[in-house]
Structure formats: structure tokens, C-alpha cells
Amino acid sequence: MADKLVYVLNGPNLNRLGKREPEIYGSQTLDDIGAMLAERGRALGMSVAMHQSNHEGALVDWLHEAEDSGAHAVLLNAGAYTHTSVALLDAIRSIKVPVIEVHLSNPHTREHFRHTSWIGMAAKGTIAGFGAQSYMLALEAAAGL
């Protein structure tokens, strides 16, 4: 049986993990998280395609690509685009692949503008506030879909 493909999409500034505000986002880098996901994915019979961009359109393109490639699920940490991007909302609504919204921190404990998630309006579910473990929990959820 072929591995189930899971896209893991990361938005703006997530390339700075490990350096950027470690008191909020932790000390692990995105590469560290990717390695953890790849290892756990193998155990779950899943392969992980990890992407990061600071550009909204690239995230839209990867959402479309996930659909076109027959991906099993998408884990999406859209970063600040979570709270601003109608384009990502529309892209999620345009595909059938389930999208799980992921956040390292808990947006509801932060600034008021972070309390609204455009991504969450179309996502299958949201996992937030557990640091890098949020990604692992989301991968487990994807495996169960």
C-alpha cells in the first residue's frame, strides 16, 4: 500500500523559527519540525511534503497542488495570513482535501486581532497552543481521516 501524502504548508516568518520570539514559538526550527513529522509520518504510513513561503500566492498554489496530486490531507500553519487572507480561505474551499489548521501558540491568548481565523472558517479542524507538538497532533488527526 502506498504512503498517504500529507502536505505541510507554512506561511510567513516560519522560516525564522528557533530565532524568532522563542518565548512564544519555541526553540525548534522548521527543519526540526519537518524531521519529526517525516519520522512520525513513516510510522503512520504517511509521507510528508513540507513547504514554507513568505508569499501568500505560493501557499494558494500548494493548496491547489495538494488537491491535484491526490494528497490525503494538508496541515496549514498560515502564520499571520490566518487572520487576513480571504485568498487562502477561498483556496481551501476550492479543494476537497481536508485542511487542518495548525498553530504553535494559542492565538486566543494573544493580541485581539489574532482571535479571528479566516483559515478556520474552512478547515476541518484546528490544533493550537502546543508548540511543535501541534504539528504532531495534527499529523495524528490527519492519519485518522
Q: Which of 7, 72, 81, 103 is catalytic?
A: 103
β pairing state of 99-103 and 4-10: unpaired
Which residue carries 516560519 as its cell?
A: 14
Q: List beta partners, residue 49.
A: 7
Distance CA 5, CA 39 (A): 14
Q: Which of 25, 72, 81, 135 is catalytic?
A: 25
Distance CA 47, CA 41 (A): 6
Active site residue 135: no
Active site residue 55: no
> Which positions are annotated as active-site residues?
25, 103
